[in-house]
């Protein structure tokens, strides 16, 4: 009986070793929400992980992509539907709103004021810092296509990729931590 237990233990140790070998000190996050507070939370986690020398890979999809639109850029050759999405959705990180207590923009303005008072970096500053910390931002190409966003209207960012879900899945498979926000 001891022999069976020992062989099972050895088999489990080998499997755990393979699992550990396949992961890196890396965090992969899907950022789905376009709400200011949720994107802030994702960026705070990303910057914290980067400060601990973890590799950070963010996958912005659907509504979150709006925060990465450059307010000074526009895409050419859009259909009527694509133009409508562009008008209806926020254009850039300064335009995203709180998920709760927005109150017609008053809550968002209050939150930004409180953040400034407490010397908490703005979302724009966090994104810039993420670039300095080599945080990778991957933007979902399918979501961009569905909403009519063009590559040329996204923010300038040093570690930005336009890619598909397969990239996120590959990154997540290599990561010790995976989050969906």
- pLDDT tens-digit series, residues 37-52: 999 999 999 999 999 9
Sign of CA dihedral 107, 113, 118, 124: positive
Query: Above 80 in pLDDT, residue 104?
Result: yes
118-131 burial by CB neighbour count: b if 16+ within 10 A, else e? eeebebeebbebbb
136 in Cβ contact with 56 (< 8 Å): yes
Name residues whose C-beta falls within 8 Å of residue 55's C-beta, 6 or more positions apart in sequence.
24, 25, 26, 27, 134, 136
Query: Above 80 in pLDDT, residue 71?
Result: yes
CATH superfamily, domain at 30-180: DsrEFH-like (3.40.1260.10)
Q: pTM of this prediction?
A: 0.85
Q: How far apart, in Å, are the Cα atoms of 42 and each of 31, 45, 123, 166?
A: 7, 5, 10, 21
pLDDT band at 4 (very low <50, low <70, confident <90, very high): confident
* Residue-level pLDDT at 149: 95
- Give the strand pairing for 175-180 and 160-163: unpaired
Give 122-161 pLDDT, tens digit per residue. Answer: 999 999 999 999 999 999 999 999 999 999 999 999 999 9
Q: How far apart, in Å, are the Cα atoms of 8 and each of 13, 18, 20, 83, 115?
A: 9, 15, 18, 60, 54
- Distance in angstroms (rounded) separating the CA atoms of residues 148 and 129: 28
Name residues whose C-beta falls within 8 Å of residue 77's C-beta, 6 or more positions apart in sequence.
150
pLDDT band at 102 (very low <50, low <70, confident <90, very high): confident
* Residue-level pLDDT at 11: 82
Q: Which two tokens stand for residue 19?
A: 């699992």
Q: Which two tokens stand for residue 181?
A: 């926000």
The string of DSSP letters for 63-81 reads GGGGGGB-TT---SS--HH
* Residue-level pLDDT at 21: 62
Phi, psi of 40 (to 5 degrees): -60, -45
Give 9-19 pLDDT, tens digit per residue. Answer: 788 887 777 66
């Amino acid at each position: 009986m001891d022999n069976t237990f020992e062989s099972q233990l050895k088999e489990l140790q080998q499997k755990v070793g393979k699992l550990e070998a396949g992961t890196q000190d890396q965090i992969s996050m899907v950022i789905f929400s376009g709400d200011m507070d949720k994107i802030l939370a994702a960026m705070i986690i990303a910057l914290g992980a980067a400060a601990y020398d973890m590799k950070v890979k963010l996958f912005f999809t659907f509504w979150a992509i709006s925060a990465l639109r450059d307010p000074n850029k526009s895409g050419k050759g859009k259909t009527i539907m694509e133009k409508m999405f562009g008008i209806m959705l926020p254009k850039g990180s300064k335009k995203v709103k709180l998920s709760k207590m927005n109150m017609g923009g008053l809550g968002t303005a209050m939150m930004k004021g409180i953040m400034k008072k407490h010397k908490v970096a703005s979302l724009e500053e966090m994104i810039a810092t993420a670039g300095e910390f080599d945080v990778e931002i991957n933007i979902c190409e399918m979501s961009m296509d569905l909403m009519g966003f063009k590559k040329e209207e996204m923010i300038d960012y040093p570690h930005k990729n336009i890619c598909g879900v397969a990239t996120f899945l590959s990154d997540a498979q290599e990561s010790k931590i995976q989050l969906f926000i």
